[in-house]
Structure 1
């Protein structure tokens, strides 16, 4: 069994907890333990799209080229916190400018494009062999090098009483809580991230995500074939060629298969692996069975 699952992660659970529950559900279905891999985790307080690769589909995760993310979030002005979000203790409080909305609408324009972000201390990045969030839990702060990320779109949906509801489309590796602090700084006041909802992660979108209960009730219906996620064409090999492909040997390229990379299935339509065309031959690049 292999494929992807578009999970709706509820607020309050860690990404690991969600992954463990989904993996157990599919392990019961398959009768064997299955590995699972994330395509980008979410903080416990966040909700939304959490894609998982199951079984040998974890080996396909690097082939997913679309890694853009999109979010709906709230920016809370006038208060900064130790974590950069609503779960942290208050660090500073100050007055929110009377013209904050007008300033914010102007400020967002300067954050679109390639920008530099200093990763927050509450993040899974490593520093000296430790996760930053482990260092932060000890009350320590270390210097972090800025990272380049791309913001494709940043918009203000509404504003009331110092809280702005916003949308963000960005590259992989962007931190919404850091963006919130930077936006507040551009307005001349403190700020933090309130609520966070991820509504898309690459090809995985919110309206197609399934809750944990829905996955428990119908796991097979929640499993997404790799061809729906990675835009490689699929070819079917006959018995001898599929056996050679499984053994890691070059096989003749079926007529009409002109793409650089293809999914390979055998005559029983079992996904065998991923092949790369080399002239008139097909070379195994990832073999599953």
Structure 2
């Protein structure tokens, strides 16, 4: 007997998933989306299959702000293994070479960490989702094609040693958009003269979710057995993803005009994207402020006037 096809539903909100190891970010998203039976879902920046920790998932109208969260500041705890270099810069890759460890003390490690902080130029791993010629680098790497991984400027706010056990280092990283922790560890290993790769990686937080209440897949499966209400209680409102944006409140007339796609007057402030709230206190979406005018940029469906 064929299993009945799942019926999906319109669902809006943000789930803070504690991603398990061994799954890609998209695989984790699809498992959660099916548990919630959400019609539409997306994630806010990939975690490698090896990595665990915070993966914000956006459902329904929240997918409209997923791109805004991609550029947010993030924090990780990483375990690096010195003396072993892999083709993917992590433990999932093939070992390319092994090198003896030089005599290292904390001062030597700090001297190697220091140049990797601040605005730096970083070369992406060859096994990464960055696209070259419209195709991810990892696809080219798997075919054995020669790859010149691109360099780009990234921001590393913190890169610190938490502890050491022989060739294994525990590291804390806080960084901006586009930073690869695998590349940081690779470059640290080269600076120390022995090479290195990431053995374990956990994402601790992503702005604006600095103290996240995360849910594991097992916990979500348990809640699903209790019904949709138990699952839905895990969701954050769409507004939770916009806490870092300046807030602008509109009266009923301003809300109506914005919903028709028209610019509206507002209190003058710094130019840039703002979170716009209507007369009832509900978030309408993102608008672009220029002086004392607001232009709609990305509105939620409940804010758009069809008439």
Q: Which sections of structure 1, spanning at least 5 residues, go unmatched?
A: none
CA deviation vs aligned residue, 1:41-78 (integer Å, no higher than 9, x gap): 10001001111222122222344496111110111011
| Aligned position for 2:120 | 115
Structure 1 residue 4: Cα displacement: 2.0
2:12 paired with 1:2: yes
Structure 1 residue 143: Cα displacement: 1.1
TM-score (norm 2): 0.80
The farther-off stretch of 97-106 and 240-249 is: 240-249
| Aligned position for 1:248 | 261
2:235 paired with 1:223: yes
The answer to whether the Cα contact below 8 Å between 1:79 and 1:90 also exists between their aligned partners in 2 is: yes
| Aligned position for 2:198 | 193
SS at match of 1:204: coil
Change (3 A) 1:213 1:236: farther
The farther-off stretch of 146-155 and 64-73 is: 64-73
Change (3 A) 1:264 1:25: farther
The answer to whether the Cα contact below 8 Å between 1:72 and 1:199 also exists between their aligned partners in 2 is: yes
The farther-off stretch of 76-85 and 204-213 is: 204-213
The answer to whether the Cα contact below 8 Å between 2:269 and 2:291 also exists between their aligned partners in 1 is: no
| Aligned position for 2:27 | 17
In 1, distance between residues paired with 2:128 and 2:19?
Answer: 18
The answer to whether the Cα contact below 8 Å between 1:124 and 1:132 also exists between their aligned partners in 2 is: yes
TM-score (norm 1): 0.84
The answer to whether the Cα contact below 8 Å between 1:266 and 1:272 also exists between their aligned partners in 2 is: no
2:176 paired with 1:171: yes
In 1, distance between residues paired with 2:157 and 2:75?
Answer: 9
Change (3 A) 1:193 1:251: closer
- Give the number of equivalent residue pairs: 279
CA deviation vs aligned residue, 1:81-140 (integer Å, no higher than 9, x gap): 121111122111121112254421221122111111111111001112221111111223
| Aligned position for 1:233 | 247
In 2, distance between residues paired with 1:169 and 1:136?
Answer: 28
Change (3 A) 1:127 1:215: same
Structure 1 residue 283: Cα displacement: 4.5
SS at match of 1:222: coil
| Aligned position for 2:133 | 128
Q: Which sections of structure 2, spanning at least 5 residues, go unmatched?
A: 1-10, 224-229, 302-307
Counterpart pick for 1:288 among 300, 303, 306: 300
| Aligned position for 1:87 | 92
In 2, distance between residues paired with 1:134 and 1:143?
Answer: 13
In 2, distance between residues paired with 1:57 and 1:247?
Answer: 21
In 2, distance between residues paired with 1:65 and 1:37?
Answer: 11
